[in-house]
Structures are given as C-alpha cells and as structure tokens.
Structure 1
C-alpha cells in the first residue's frame, strides 16, 4: 500500500513520529527532555523501501547526541554515506564526545541550528567540536550551562576559546540563545565575544527577573532587532497583551519582547457554538412534557454537568488535590442557583461527594442536623481538619455520621481523629454500606472510660479498604479493651489493611478475615518493642492468604516474613545498613536451606538515604550483592523496584551509577530493575573496542 502513495503523503504521515518538536530541541532545562527512554524512531525506516526513502531526511533533520556511543554510531553512518550529512539541519550536542564530532560537523554542510553544552566533564574531550566548529556556519546558536555549577576544566575552556574564534567566521549567525541573565565571571569573556557576531539580530534569555544586567551590554550591538525574554512558567503574565519589561535605555526598551511560547502546544477548540438570542422569550424547555419525565431528563443532564465533568483530582500533592475538589464544589453550587427546579434536582449531586475543610465541619454537621434528608445523598466524604483542634470539631463527627446512612467512602487524610463513640455511631449508621475508610486516626482512649469492645467491628460488613492510625504509644492502654470479645466473623469483605501501630494487631489476629489479600504495616520495631511478636502472630494467622505485603523490616522476631507468606507476589520493605534496618538479603539468612519462595514476582525496596553519596553507593552495592546471592531462593522474581531512586539522565552519571550496573546484571537473569517512577532500565548504546 505504501508504494501506491505519493512521497508527500507518506512524509505527512511519518512527520509526527520522526520530527523533533522545537520546544524540545531548544529546551534549556537542567534535565534534558531526551533523557527518558523511548523506542527509537528509526524503526520506521525498516517498514519498506518507500518509508526508508521518505523517512531518512526526516530522521536526520534534527540530530540529538547524548552519549559517545551515539556520536560514534552517527560518525560511522556518515563515513559510509557522507550524503546523509546534507539532511542535518539542527544538531543538539549534550557533551563533548571527543574526535568523532569533527567528522559529523564536516558532513553537516547545511546545518542551520546548533545546540552546545558547556557542562562537559573532565573525563570527556571537546577536541572534535573544537576542530569541527570552524567548518559550519549556522544561523542560530543555543548555549546550555548550569547556572549554579560552572565547570572550568580543560575541555570547557578549550570549547569556549573555539566559540570565540568562530565569531568572525560565522557570518550567518543572527540568533543567540543564552542561559544567563548576568555576566558570570568564568563565562564573561565568552558572552562578550558572542555579542560580536556581525549579523546578530536576536538575543534570547532563558529566564527574566526584575533586572537583567546583560541588557546594558546589548546597546553596543548595531544590528540587534529584538531581545526575547523566554520567561519560565509563572514569571510571564497570564494576559497575552501584557507588555514586556522596560529598560531605562530607550533603544533596549523598544527591542524587548516576550518570546513565543516554547511549551507543549495545547489543543485548540476546533469550533465554538454561537449563542443566538431566543426567538421566543417565553419558551420554556420541556414545558409540555409530563413532570416526572421532565424531572428525569433534567436530573440526567445535571448528573453529567455536576459530576462527570468535574472528576475528583488525582494529584499526589494534597494542597493541589484539595484546591481542585473545593473548586469543583463551587462550580456545582452554581447550578442550584439557576432555578428552584435545578435546586431540587441538583441537591443530591451537590452533597454526593463533598469535600469538607476544618472551618466548615461544624456548619456541615448543623446543616445535616436541620435537614436530615440531605445526609442520605452523601456517598463519599472527604474531611480535612488539620492538626490544630477547632472548636466543635470533635463533636461534629458523630453528628455527621448519624445522618449519612448511605456513606460508601470516608477519607480523613491522615489527620481526622475518631473516638470509640464516633466509630460506634459510624458502624450503626453506615456499617452496611461503607466500603472504604482511609486516613483515619483513632484517638487514644481515656483511662477509666467504659469498655471499648472490638465487637463494633462486626458492624462494618461491607468494608473493603481500611487505613487507620492509632494515636497511642507503648505507655498508653490499647484502643480496644482486652476484656472485650473479638468477633471472629467481623470484616468479612476486608481486602486491604494498612496499620501504622501494632495496637490492634491482636484483635485482627483473632479474626478470620476471609477476603484479606493486601497488608501494609508501617511499624518500626525500635518504636514499638512488642511489635515483633504481634506482627509474626498476625502473619501466622493470615499470611497464607496474602498476595501483597509491605513492612518496615523483612525480619521480625528472628523470623523471615517471607516464610510466613508463601503465596504473596509482591513484597516491600526497607533495607540498609542502619541498626534497625540491617537485613539486606530479605531474611534469607533466617530461612531454612531448602526454602524457596515460588510465588514472589515483585520486590519493593526502600532505605533511608545517606547524606554521603559515597556511603550511599557503597550501601546499595552491598545490598545488590546480597540480593544476587539470594536470587536462587526466588525463582519467580521478575521485578525489583526502588521507592526512592530515580534513573540518572546524563552519560557521566550513568557511567558511575551503582543502580545501572545492577540493572544490567539483573537483566541477564530476566529481572527488571525499576526506579520510583516505575520506569525500567534499558541498556544504552555502548562504544565497543576496536
């Protein structure tokens, strides 16, 4: 089919996949936009001869070089076929990459844009760039530099000298993009020299502040036509018509302008529905429709308008998520102000998923008390009280729970403290419908109060997710009375349990919990001396049914937890060299010699990072060495993920990363190593010895 299409159409089809966007090519962020792994776009050239013919110019139009291996590969391709060099229009070089750069620049006869980095480490060489720069004559130069760490090694100094020598040779140069707003001492001779291009028309700054000292040096450039301010997000005014900053120099002030938006282009609305005036002002929609039918139609319209178009925020930042939810509440309220009909039909959707802040919690309780029917509409209740006690807050929970019989989800964001009385009221009212109770803190009991029987848990027959924190210490009495009878058939639907203290573990150990599959216990033995025995007792009772387990330690009470959970597929724990996290081999040293865990497929590892990078690398080296020695005990293991590490993004950092070395070693065993973003490591192209 491709052979029957004109080359122009094939080019339009392949362009989105092969062309490098301008905002990525000219990006001056500390982390390169090309640092993340992606499937090579060159795969399109292997489809057929027609695609190879059309895609080759598109592939070479913008070349990004990030490693010596990539530079060597491009050098070899141009040496075998120098004609490919005429396709190169833009070149982004994120390093020095030794002598191979000379051949690349020599073949790039039509190069117009060049991106150079001054972050070249002493282990690299800029010899190829130095000898190749005089061979080109670009129209735009983009410089990258770390404004907080200006390298001054031999390779950087030689490259700056070579750039100064090119000022008189690059007669086509008309655009200069700089990463500075001041004249840094080590870079001042270079910046002053670059202002000497004979045809320089545009100077662009990466960021803009109230004062830019470099502006005073631009008045001496006679050919200058514009000074662009490439403002960071948040610095540029939201209004597009806002004028750019001014300068005391009249000529400089007239040249200042905002640069075009270099961010990711946003999708534009294709059309806009015109609002035409009503031909009949007395017209009322659905006026001739029976009332119950009209109510159903309007209710369905309000459902989509108030709920479906305003989904709850999935942001991991609490402040951002809470702001989004509160804004959604405000937008939903506007619909109720349209008419009495909208108020009556939209009220259930307004109270269906409310987000309540601490200041409005007593008022919300008063509202439910005065209009009890409103509480029947509440399905999800998101409460954020804050750490400071607010007057009337403690009494508000029971008042709210008494009027929410259909509550399905209760989220306390980790700071809501419920008393035993609140828990009883919640169980009596919504125990049969509540499916999730997360982020709830149970207040410490008052000594001498009435019995606090764990029988209250039997009322939560639909609860699937339970995440709570016990606000007590080892010196305080447990939340549930030891004399109370534990209901063994309680929480029959519980699937996911999260605890941060061992206070209630004896209660859960005596329950059957037939649906329990996932457990997370953020409990440190150093903080709770009795935790070791309580955790092992709990896992002896329920470990066989678990599929996921996350704990602070892989070993408690000299027992490897993996031996108590033979069917789990995911296990997470902390490992390291500190006193209370000394186990690095997942407790293999505590296992019988014949024991093998045949179900474990995923490991989640975490540790408290050391302030010294040398000690941190040494610790992970020891951890990975012990893990590799223990892998024969885990034949099904296919994935190891860190909860705190992120893959390096530069060739210099990659070559020294302990994690990269471990990842490539584990790949030989068909085990993937992933970082905290869940990105797995893919081996990069390497330079082979000849």
Structure 2
C-alpha cells in the first residue's frame, strides 16, 4: 500500500513539474513575441498558478543590471541613455509580480539626481525592509541630506560607486553616511572634469577616513587616475589611505601606465590580482611588461581567474593569436572533377543554382535610404562580383542577377563599359536592369545622349534611377525621360541639364513614380517639366536646390504629398506670398516635413557661424500675421486672451517635422536656439508628435540638465504631447 501511495505521489509530482515547465515555456514565448501590453495581461492571468521563485527567475533577466554596466567608469555615464525603457510596468502587473520583483529591483540602485535620492530616501524610510535588498549602490553626485537616510537604511551594500563630479549640491549627508555601510568594493569616478570645490574636498576626506577607520571589509578598488599629479594630489591621498588600511586584495586601474606609480604606493597591501581596464596605445606599440616580477604575477593571476572574452579586436588578442601553434590543415587533395548534382538534368541544375545566385546577389532593403533622397548601393555589395569569376556556369547563371543593379562613376572608362553592355544584344535580352546609380566624377562623361540611350535600351525595366548627367547643349528634350520609364518608382536627378518647355497638351508622365529627388545643380526647367507631367502616385518629394521656384510644382503635386524636403529659404519665400500659397494650403496631406539649412564653411575652428531661424508662420510664431502683435511677442492683454485665434490653414496630418541645421552653436553660445524652441508654436500642426533636430545632443548630468534651454523647451512641448528628438533620433524623457 505504501509503495502504491509513494508511486502515486511521485507521479503527481512529475505531472506538476511537467505542467510548470509548460507554463514557463508558454510564459516566456508569449512575453518575448507578443506586444508588450498583451503580454503583461496574459502573464498576469497565468502567474496566479506560479510560485514566487519561478516568477523571480522569469523577471531576473529583465530587471538585472550587469556588473559591467554598474561599474562602467567612462566620463559620460552609461546610464545617461534616454533610450532605456523603464522597468516600472513589470511591477504593476499584479501584486505577485510586485512582491517577486521588488528584491530584484532594489538589488542595484543608481542615483543620478537629487530628486531620485529624495524619493529613494522617502521610500526606504517608509518601508524599512527594502533597504536590506540593496547590494550595489551607484551615486553620481552629492545629493544633499537624503543620502544619509539612504545609507542608514542600506546596511548590506557590498559594491559602492562614488562620482566626484559634484556641482553645487552639499555632500554632508553622504559624508556622514559612509561609516554606516561596509562595502567590499569601491569604485571611484571623476567624470569629464576634475572638480575642486569644498564639497568635493569634504567627500574625498570622508572616503579616506572611511577606508582607514570603518570599511574593514574593503578588499577591491577601481582607481580612475592615469597620472600621479592629477588634480590637487587626490590620487595619492586615496592610495595612502588604502596603504594605511592594508586590506586591499584587488586593484583595477583605468590606464596601463598608471601602474608605474600606483603599485609602489600600495605594494605592502596583501594584493592578489591587478587589472588594467583600458589599453590605449595611441598608434604606438604596446608598452613593455612591468619590470617588477611581483606585479607581473598579480596581473597574470587576474587573467587566469577572468579569461578575457572575445568582444572585438585587441592588440593582445592579435599577438596571442599569432603566437599559437598553427593548426594542421588537411592536405588531402580535392577531387578536381567533383561536380554537385552531377547526375541531375541540366535544367534542374540551372534552376537550383539560379535560386542560390538570386539569394546571394539580392540587394537588401537596408542598403537603400530615403532619409535625404539618396539611393546608393552599398559598397559591400560590389564584392559579390567575385562570384561571377568562379567558372563559366557561375557567370552564365548569375550575371542576370548581378547586373540587375548597376553602379558606376561618370568617368570615361565606366561610361564606355556601360555603352558596350548596352550595345550587346544578349545583355539587353537576358538582363533586366532594375537599378542604376551614376556617381559624379571630375571628368563628367555621362551626358544626356548617353542617358537617352540608357532609357531606350533598359528603361522599361528600371525601377530606381540615380543619375548625375552633365549638359551637352543649351536645351534638351525631356520627353524620353517621361515616356521610356513606365515602371520607374524612384528618381534622383543631379546635373545642370536644361530642358525645353513642355506644354500641358503634350505632357506625359511617370505612372509609377513614388519618390522624386531634385538636388545639386538641377535647373529650373526640370522643375517646370515635372510640374506639368502626370505623376499620379508621387508621394515623396525631395527638393534640395535653393534659388529655384518650386511654387508651380507644389501647386500641381502638393495635394497628394506625404513626405516633403525643402530648403529653409524656400519655406520662408512661401510665407512671404499670399495666404493661398502657404505650404499648408499647397500640401494639406503632408505627414513628414524636413527643413534643410544652407551649408557653411568655417574659416577657422573657433568660429561661431550665425545660423538663421525660420521666418515661416508655422515654424516661427513671432512672424505670424494672423496672431495679434501683443500675443506674438509674449504680451497678452485681456482682449487678446479672450480671443480664440484659429489659423486659416493648418497641417491636419503633419506628424513629424525635422529641422536640419548643418550644426548647432557650441555650449554656452546656443541661447538663441534655446529661446527659439521655447517659443515654438505647434498650433498649426494639431497632429504633430515629434520635432526632430539632428545635431542636438542631450545633456548627461543633473547640472547640465538644469541649465539647458533645450530641456525646458522639450518639457514644455511634452505637455502638448510633442516630443523633441535629437542626435540619432533620441527623444527627451522626463526624469526625477
């Protein structure tokens, strides 16, 4: 009877374990592959049947902060990353998730502002048990008296990161709280500049006193100083305190040459390992190994305990690779008569090899970009031409896929190659050219007659065309361009070719053209020709040539446009005309608008160029004629405040505006741009969600954030649900 009951118990346990594994598998797959909200709702329902231990294992990878990230000693904090997603949604899924995630969340604490320190202090004081979960604490400032509360309620801290880049904030709290903890590892950080204020000096003295008097468990130190004379002798003060305590077992220095003066000061400590965080040779060969044999042994000990991972190229790894014995290569001769699919029919072989070549020579979408109207073939793709040289069969089957995308310079040699190919009947009949790109060359040989020959020969199959055409005579006939390219979807035109005027009665079109880019030295006659041409599918227009009249083109084609790139001066000129010619009336369906500033050559490196501001109504509120003068200049009266000002024309669908100045003034000289963004008015763009300014770099420290006008402008627009995005499309995010 006991055997039966014992067997049934084991069987029930196996069933429960199998059910738990099934739930975990389903849970993980749904979490990583479903949309975020649906996943959280699903997991909330499923987690009712899971124990806390399993939920904790699931949440650990999501809430964990790696030690490399926590201990990162770069000048700019790695946590000043506005792309990082908040982990707070995981805590509000349900109470079970909250209880399981709380120890994981408080395991590593990173404080980057005084408000964060105050919030953490209030939380730890209200819930005294939370502080016991804190194991790693990273403090990137002084943060006032709140740090005393944080340290008092965090007795189990084992790793402490202290930054001496302190601006203004008092360090009294953290100085008094340091003796209340007893870390095993101390990581010092200096930031972008050595600060020499009274608060910093108090912090240095408090750390030195804690090392000698209170921190009897401290055995590991990360030291950020490269030279002994760095900033008021503070490196020597730290090392003397460490040497006096004589407990240090592990030392990590930021630069390899710092060991020359660091090790002699602490050689009496019971060191076991020494580590160099960064090797920088600056184009010179690596330095000779340290002469002290004991130091060599300590560095070897660390390398044995922590083998270096292969994360990229390093000089040491390269030397070690060359020092390894060569692996014996199998010298068995290869059968020269070996032929895959030898017994298959020829048509079957050709079909299989054609599928392989089509896959190997295809042009991925990531090799093209529409950000500025450029349609460039990636240079890496040209290396695939070696595939054609393997054998005659490879050339016969792969050439039609390789020549599907042509890329050449407008030099005589490349143009002659193209003409010979176009004159070969077999090439024209067997090859379907879909993409052609002609880059500029000093000797412009790609003229309009050659372009006509290209259109007449392979124009019916062309889908993407990027041409730089040099003029031959005063005027050319544009009809071949409009009649020989029925399948063209993208066209980028560069070159100063002048075209004859086209009457509306004779106007033809490009029925499948979706993207048109007119740039560089394009002539006014080209714009006039496209203004009367029939372009039913045109949705994206890139007009990058200043000084050209685009009003007729926008009047005829603007109603269907969703993407538009225009120079700043063109937008300003449109505002100076009648109200019916305003851009919002010409392009009512616009969703993406990019404004390009003129380029500027700096005469000397320290020159601060004058970068003009927009004068157009919807980009500059002080120039709006339909708003009372008092309201435009920030002076509101009772009458003006009671009036409901509604613009005559608005961009109802405009979702994103991109401003492309070639650069922004340096820090401290950019007040004008900050004031401009503070006054930015989006009342004529009710659907706007993003204002993108490519050169804008967001501040990374609390001190810089408080002083930044860009941050104030971003917070102001966030109240209107409009995001400001800067370099690499990084949006500003509010934080404590």
Sort the TM-score into its range (normalised by shorter chain): 0.7 to 0.9
Partner of 1:300: 355
C-alpha deviation, 1:485, in angstroms: 9.5
Partner of 2:495: 470
Q: Does 1:163 align with 2:211?
A: no
Q: 173, 184, 201: which one pairs with 2:249?
A: 201
Partner of 1:661: 712
Q: How does 1:253-652 map to 2 (within 5 A)?
A: 253-256=296-299, 285-305=340-360, 307=362, 313=367, 325-330=378-383, 333=386, 337=390, 341-353=393-405, 361=414, 365=418, 368=421, 373=426, 376-377=430-431, 379=433, 388-389=442-443, 394-395=444-445, 418-438=446-466, 440-443=467-470, 445-446=471-472, 449=473, 451-458=475-482, 459-471=484-496, 479-481=498-500, 488-500=507-519, 501=522, 503=524, 504-524=526-546, 528=547, 531=548, 534-553=549-568, 554-556=571-573, 558-559=576-577, 560-573=582-595, 581-583=614-616, 585-586=618-619, 589=623, 595-597=648-650, 598-607=652-661, 609=663, 611=665, 613-625=667-679, 627-628=680-681, 631-652=682-703
Instruction: String of CA shifts for 1:295-339, please: whole Å, max 9, x gaps.
Output: 22233234445548x886579999xx99x95555446635853x6
Q: How does 1:186-225 map to 2 (within 5 A)?
A: 186=231, 188-194=233-239, 195-196=242-243, 197-208=245-256, 212-220=257-265, 221-222=267-268, 223-225=270-272
C-alpha deviation, 1:388, in angstroms: 4.3
Q: Secondary structure at the match of 2:271?
A: coil
C-alpha deviation, 1:538, in angstroms: 2.4
Instruction: String of CA shifts for 1:176-204, please: whole Å, max 9, x gaps.
Output: 22233222431533345235252222222
Partner of 2:43: none
Partner of 2:17: none
C-alpha deviation, 1:162, in angstroms: 1.6
C-alpha deviation, 1:523, in angstroms: 3.4
Partner of 1:64: 110
Distance in 1 of aligned mates of 2:283 and 2:60: 31
Q: Secondary structure at the match of 2:264?
A: coil
Partner of 1:230: 277
Distance in 1 of aligned mates of 2:75 and 2:369: 24
C-alpha deviation, 1:341, in angstroms: 4.3
Q: Is the 8 A contact 1:568 1:600 kept in 2?
A: yes
The answer to which of 674-683 and 278-287 deviates more is: 278-287
Q: Secondary structure at the match of 2:732?
A: coil
C-alpha deviation, 1:437, in angstroms: 2.1
Q: 127, 130, 142: which one pairs with 1:84?
A: 130
Q: Secondary structure at the match of 1:512?
A: coil
Partner of 2:9: none
C-alpha deviation, 1:491, in angstroms: 2.4
Q: Secondary structure at the match of 1:24?
A: helix
Instruction: String of CA shifts for 1:44-84, please: whole Å, max 9, x gaps.
Output: 23333432332221111111111112111111111112222
Distance in 1 of aligned mates of 2:502 and 2:361: 49
C-alpha deviation, 1:595, in angstroms: 0.8
Partner of 1:182: 227
Q: Is the 8 A contact 2:664 2:695 kept in 1?
A: no
C-alpha deviation, 1:383, in angstroms: 5.5
Structure 2 CA distance for partners of 1:117 and 1:385, relative to 1, 3 Å: same
C-alpha deviation, 1:133, in angstroms: 1.6
- Whichever structure has more helix as a proportion of its residues is 2
Structure 2 CA distance for partners of 1:570 and 1:248, relative to 1, 3 Å: same
Q: Secondary structure at the match of 1:666?
A: helix
C-alpha deviation, 1:173, in angstroms: 2.1
Distance in 2 of aligned mates of 1:661 and 1:250: 57
Q: Is the 8 A contact 1:646 1:675 kept in 2?
A: yes
Q: Is the 8 A contact 1:454 1:485 kept in 2?
A: no
Q: Secondary structure at the match of 1:246?
A: coil
C-alpha deviation, 1:20, in angstroms: 0.5
Per the normalisation by structure 1, the TM-score is: 0.78
C-alpha deviation, 1:14, in angstroms: 1.0
C-alpha deviation, 1:155, in angstroms: 2.1
Q: Is the 8 A contact 2:134 2:154 kept in 1?
A: yes
- Alignment coverage as a number of residue pairs: 617
Q: Secondary structure at the match of 2:728?
A: coil
Distance in 1 of aligned mates of 2:495 and 2:87: 53
Structure 2 CA distance for partners of 1:263 and 1:72, relative to 1, 3 Å: farther
Distance in 2 of aligned mates of 1:423 and 1:254: 70
Per the normalisation by structure 2, the TM-score is: 0.73
Distance in 2 of aligned mates of 1:484 and 1:180: 74
Q: Is the 8 A contact 1:353 1:378 kept in 2?
A: no
Partner of 1:97: 143
Q: Secondary structure at the match of 1:116?
A: strand
The answer to which of 500-509 and 589-598 deviates more is: 589-598
Distance in 2 of aligned mates of 1:568 and 1:331: 40
Gaps of 5+ in 2: 1-45, 314-329, 599-609, 628-646
C-alpha deviation, 1:218, in angstroms: 0.3
Q: 12, 25, 48: which one pairs with 2:57?
A: 12
Q: Is the 8 A contact 2:714 2:724 kept in 1?
A: yes
The answer to which of 171-180 and 65-74 deviates more is: 171-180
Instruction: String of CA shifts for 1:358-389, please: whole Å, max 9, x gaps.
Output: 99847955984797645754646575757544
Q: Secondary structure at the match of 1:14?
A: helix
Structure 2 CA distance for partners of 1:243 and 1:8, relative to 1, 3 Å: farther
Distance in 1 of aligned mates of 2:335 and 2:685: 76
C-alpha deviation, 1:669, in angstroms: 2.5
Partner of 1:55: 101
Structure 2 CA distance for partners of 1:635 and 1:451, relative to 1, 3 Å: closer
Gaps of 5+ in 1: 267-274, 396-417, 472-477, 686-690
Q: Secondary structure at the match of 1:515?
A: coil
Q: Secondary structure at the match of 1:498?
A: strand
The answer to which of 656-665 and 228-237 deviates more is: 228-237
Q: Secondary structure at the match of 1:203?
A: strand
Q: 127, 143, 161: which one pairs with 2:172?
A: 127
C-alpha deviation, 1:461, in angstroms: 2.3
Q: Secondary structure at the match of 1:132?
A: helix
Distance in 1 of aligned mates of 2:88 and 2:686: 36
Q: Is the 8 A contact 1:96 1:126 kept in 2?
A: yes
Structure 2 CA distance for partners of 1:185 and 1:235, relative to 1, 3 Å: closer
Q: Secondary structure at the match of 1:111?
A: coil
Instruction: String of CA shifts for 1:189-248, please: whole Å, max 9, x gaps.
Output: 33452352522222223344xxx14423303423223321223699899xxxx9996123
